[in-house]
């Protein structure tokens, strides 16, 4: 399978030179400790069709516990016995309760891309691959944002919000909130404002009823 076949419609906005540079760095590492697994790094792109894209939900980096990261930002596997604290906060804010499904495939199918600012990390470590992925993610966000669609960019946390300057603002919507992990650490509920605003934007500009 070629890269264009793998990424399908996302190939329109992916800089493959930057992608190759990032993957070359990743391949130098001990990939058995990679989070998510190497084969799942771009899973979210496979689940969310670019031609259906409505929302990019940008976080920080993948869960660093072995076997927890799925390749979809914030998601857990549906059979997990105890969901990750950030996902628990996120679901309660978006859905009103911490109910399954936890894999967020239903979000992807509706045109939401749950994406991390850094697509990988290593077991037990956080933030160590941000320098590897920042050029690729910056390019992706910019190219997506200059399309002719009204897109919603939900930037969760300081890392995500540091990409605001690469997003073309005219005709798009940028919503910002603290990262769910902050609310989890402080044991307080995350406001639902960004989710309710996203629903209103999609209804008004896309005539689309989003179901979190």
- Active-site residues, by number, are 61
79 CB contacts (<8 Å, ≥6 apart)?
none
C-alpha distances (whole Å) from 99 to each of 52, 92, 171, 190 are 25, 8, 33, 16
Helix 16-27 and helix 130-145, axial crossing angle in degrees, nearest 10: 160
SS3 content of the chain, % helix, strand, coil (to 5): 45, 10, 45
């Amino acid at each position: 399978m070629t890269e264009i076949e793998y990424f399908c419609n996302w190939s329109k906005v992916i800089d493959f030179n930057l992608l190759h540079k990032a993957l070359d760095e990743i391949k130098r590492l001990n990939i058995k400790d990679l989070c998510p697994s190497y084969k799942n790094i771009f899973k979210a792109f496979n689940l969310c069709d670019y031609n259906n894209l409505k929302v990019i939900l940008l976080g920080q980096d993948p869960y660093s516990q072995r076997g927890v990261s799925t390749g979809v930002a914030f998601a857990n596997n549906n059979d997990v016995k105890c969901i990750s604290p950030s996902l628990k906060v996120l679901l309660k804010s978006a859905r009103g309760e911490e109910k399954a499904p936890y894999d967020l495939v239903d979000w992807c199918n509706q045109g939401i891309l749950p994406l991390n600012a850094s697509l990988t990390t290593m077991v037990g470590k956080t933030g160590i691959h941000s320098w590897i992925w920042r050029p690729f993610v910056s390019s992706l966000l910019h190219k997506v944002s200059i399309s002719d669609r009204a897109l919603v960019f939900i930037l969760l946390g300081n890392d995500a919000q540091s990409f605001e300057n690469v997003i073309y603002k005219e005709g798009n919507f940028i919503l910002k909130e603290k990262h769910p992990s902050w609310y989890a650490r402080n044991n307080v509920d995350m406001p639902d404002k960004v989710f309710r605003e996203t629903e209103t934007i999609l209804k008004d500009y896309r005539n689309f009823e989003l179901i979190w």
